[in-house]
Chain A
């Protein structure tokens, strides 16, 4: 096998390798008792990393591969968490599904499906709208979902769901008497992350994935080449929503499903991870999720009260500087000098898939624009 062939194989499996490496390091430590709730890395943090990886990869499908901005990703996750969580409780208490792994799988599928239905509904206006409008519609969608779920009370006097959601605003949480997953959640979540990675990576490499990326690069050209824009936009939205719902169902087994959790801020947090990792790079998504969740959890312990928003200050600066560095027409020369193509070949994630050619084209476009 020659060098390029090796490179290709490496590129195919690097994403799996990262996740498997994390598992190979943490699982023996966990069963050895070294990794526990008071250690440097906790199982809770690992769970959070796993579902964040799923979330960020799924948002990357929309932002990075399709090239549309979605600001309602937390809303899709909320739907998945809500439906999945309630279903978990129902299946457990009604005794329909006793085995907790089976139960969680069913809940993830149904939660994902519920979110996907919403993704389909929100995808319909997407067909008629351009970038900025679409962003606002997704934002509005997130707020509508939150507004409705915040006020939906599920508190029947008897039956499997008795007393589940007494106060909709504070939400609900699962525990061992409500069908919470009783195994090691983080191991399960990482396995799910691998499955999701498999789906997204292969989808993006297929004919369909190339069509989706063609829409990002030039919608009109893609249409001219016979790509069905409507179909691919809709399907990307729906699949991304599905995976966000899956992450949500995992979340329901992890923490409290509440109105405050899935706010606009959370959508932005996911977006920051996508942008930092590199739009259109799954490797970047995985690395930035792991990194930011780790930093987040550590910062939360140090920064209390109003200082906690220092975290958001840093997020904001990351967004602004990454974007200016990434696409300011004036910096095209700098990008060329630094030769992002070379850098991104090495650490592909951090700066996305910007190559030399693209910046040259950009310079031309911007000079046309300005003169």
Chain B
């Protein structure tokens, strides 16, 4: 019993990480109508930023978190400006292929600079806490708490602030929003910035679980998080959270069963295909969609 509960908690915290990444996907998809394939690689850049601060300069992990977020935010804006903005209004196939190109570019750049061998990024030394006879890693609780706060904050920003309203307007109708005086380019840039900052956080939380990074660090979590965003209903913020958590819990359960564990990734991706077949718009389908 206690094993099941600890698996669930691990799953929730892993799901929190997926949710953070999925939020970036879902916001960018909702507003720019494009699938940002390079989102996963932003996570990787964040982890290397942390590596430079903690591993090479042996500075404080808190500084590492700050630097990672700043670097990723800047990178997100830069990528949007250089690669995606010229293609605004182009066929979606072209944009998608460009995004794949950017993802590839970041990975190979990281490999040229830091090498293909995984490097250690020692963050905090986490201890276990004992709650009702079940030992839980503190980092699981921190991840979950931060994830919850971020989602509430995002919903607040989108519903109540001027920038958030602009985002909703752009996602509803880009042309009409522009006529109403919304600066579309700036709104999309801000969306990329927020998504990338969340990706940096997700990267840091992944480092809490296993303190190793490599050029392909973000590729698989990135794809899985996209799966989470699709499962939850893309464009919906609560959907991203739900999708992420479902994915995290299922994955942890698959990993904890010996004969299923080699197939954990295959199982996770099968969920996507099943969900898309049954409900192509995801769990939070169109009606309750909270489009950003």
Interface residues of A (CB under 8 A from B): 63, 67-69, 71, 124-125, 128-129, 131-133, 135-137, 139-141, 143-144, 147-148, 150-151, 264, 268, 271, 275, 305-307, 309-313, 315-320, 323-324, 326-331, 362, 365-366, 368-371
Asked whether B263 lies within 8 Å of A147 as measured between CB atoms, the reply is yes
Asked whether A310 lies within 8 Å of B112 as measured between CB atoms, the reply is yes
A139 touches which one: B178, B215, B223 (CB < 8 A)?
A: B223
Asked whether B111 lies within 8 Å of A309 as measured between CB atoms, the reply is yes
Q: Which residue of B lies closest to A306 (CB)?
A: B115
CA distance A309 to B277 in the complex (A): 37
Which residues on the B side are within 8 Å of A310 (C-beta)? 108, 112
Which residues on the A side are within 8 Å of B269 (C-beta)? 140-141, 143-144, 147
User: A282 to chain B: closest CB distance in Å?
Assistant: 18
Judge if B187 is at the interface, Cβ distance under 8 Å: no
Which residues on the B side are within 8 Å of A362 (C-beta)? 90
Query: How many B residues, CB 8 Å from partner?
Result: 50
Judge if B75 is at the interface, Cβ distance under 8 Å: no
Asked whether A147 lies within 8 Å of B230 as measured between CB atoms, the reply is no
Asked whether A366 lies within 8 Å of B93 as measured between CB atoms, the reply is no
Judge if B118 is at the interface, Cβ distance under 8 Å: no
Which residues on the B side are within 8 Å of A136 (C-beta)? 35, 223, 226-227, 230, 272
CA distance A135 to B230 in the complex (A): 12
The interface bits of chain B over 86-97 (1 if a CB of A lies within 8 angstroms of the residue's CB, else 0) are 111111111111
CA distance A71 to B132 in the complex (A): 47
Q: Could you write out 19 A-B pairs with CB less than 8 Å apart? A: A67-B93, A133-B280, A136-B226, A139-B223, A140-B269, A143-B269, A144-B266, A147-B269, A151-B263, A305-B116, A309-B116, A313-B105, A313-B112, A319-B97, A324-B86, A329-B87, A331-B86, A366-B88, A369-B175
B87 touches which one: A67, A313, A327 (CB < 8 A)?
A: A327
Which residues on the A side are within 8 Å of B90 (C-beta)? 323, 327-329, 362, 366
Q: Which residue of A lies closest to B82 (CB)?
A: A320
11 additional A-B residue pairs with CB within 8 Å, beyond A129-B276, A140-B270, A316-B101: A69-B93, A124-B277, A271-B100, A305-B115, A309-B111, A309-B116, A313-B109, A316-B105, A319-B97, A323-B90, A370-B175
Asked whether A137 lies within 8 Å of B273 as measured between CB atoms, the reply is yes
Asked whether B89 lies within 8 Å of A319 as measured between CB atoms, the reply is no
Judge if B202 is at the interface, Cβ distance under 8 Å: no
CA distance A124 to B276 in the complex (A): 11
Judge if B172 is at the interface, Cβ distance under 8 Å: no
A148 touches which one: B29, B100, B223, B263 (CB < 8 A)?
A: B263
Which residues on the B side are within 8 Å of A148 (C-beta)? 263, 266
Asked whether A271 lies within 8 Å of B115 as measured between CB atoms, the reply is no
User: A117 to chain B: closest CB distance in Å?
Assistant: 16
CA distance A58 to B86 in the complex (A): 30
Which residues on the A side are within 8 Å of B266 (C-beta)? 143-144, 147-148
User: B6 to chain A: closest CB distance in Å?
Assistant: 25
Asked whether B105 lies within 8 Å of A370 as measured between CB atoms, the reply is no
Asked whether B91 lies within 8 Å of A327 as measured between CB atoms, the reply is yes
Number of A-B contacts (CB under 8 A): 159
CA distance A319 to B102 in the complex (A): 8
Asked whether B104 lies within 8 Å of A327 as measured between CB atoms, the reply is no
Asked whether A323 lies within 8 Å of B101 as measured between CB atoms, the reply is yes
Q: Which residue of B lies closest to A274 (CB)?
A: B97
Interface residues of B (CB under 8 A from A): 29, 34-35, 83, 86-98, 100-105, 107-109, 111-112, 115-116, 174-175, 178, 215, 219, 223, 226-227, 230, 262-263, 265-266, 269-270, 272-273, 276-277, 280
Which residues on the B side are within 8 Å of A316 (C-beta)? 101-105, 108
Which residues on the B side are within 8 Å of A328 (C-beta)? 86-87, 90
Which residues on the A side are within 8 Å of B92 (C-beta)? 131-132
Q: A135-B96, A317-B101 are in contact. Are A329 and B273 (CB under 8 A)?
A: no
Which residues on the B side are within 8 Å of A331 (C-beta)? 86
User: B70 to chain A: closest CB distance in Å?
Assistant: 24
Asked whether B89 lies within 8 Å of A370 as measured between CB atoms, the reply is yes
CA distance A330 to B85 in the complex (A): 10
Q: Which residue of B lies closest to A370 (CB)?
A: B89
Q: Which residue of A lies closest to B117 (CB)?
A: A306
User: A66 to chain B: closest CB distance in Å?
Assistant: 10
Q: Which residue of A lies closest to B35 (CB)?
A: A132
User: A104 to chain B: closest CB distance in Å?
Assistant: 30
CA distance A123 to B251 in the complex (A): 26
B35 touches which one: A135, A144, A150 (CB < 8 A)?
A: A135
A306 touches which one: B95, B112, B226 (CB < 8 A)?
A: B112
CA distance A314 to B26 in the complex (A): 29
User: B288 to chain A: closest CB distance in Å?
Assistant: 19
Q: Please name the 4 residue pairs, one residue from A and one from B, whose CB atoms are nearest each other, closest first.
A: A319-B101, A147-B266, A316-B105, A366-B89
Q: Which residue of A lies closest to B262 (CB)?
A: A151
Asked whether A69 lies within 8 Å of B89 as measured between CB atoms, the reply is no
User: A102 to chain B: closest CB distance in Å?
Assistant: 35
CA distance A326 to B87 in the complex (A): 10
Q: A140-B273, A316-B104, A327-B91 are in contact. Are A307 and B112 (CB under 8 A)?
A: yes
CA distance A317 to B83 in the complex (A): 10
CA distance A368 to B173 in the complex (A): 12
Which residues on the A side are within 8 Å of B265 (C-beta)? 143-144, 147
B111 touches which one: A144, A268, A306, A319 (CB < 8 A)?
A: A306
Q: A137-B273, A315-B104 are in contact. Are A150 and B87 (CB under 8 A)?
A: no
Q: A125-B276, A140-B227, A309-B108 are in contact. Are A320 and B35 (CB under 8 A)?
A: no
Taking each of A264, A316, A317, which has the highest tally of chain B beta carbons within 10 Å of its own beta carbon?
Answer: A316
Asked whether B178 lies within 8 Å of A371 as measured between CB atoms, the reply is yes
CA distance A135 to B34 in the complex (A): 12
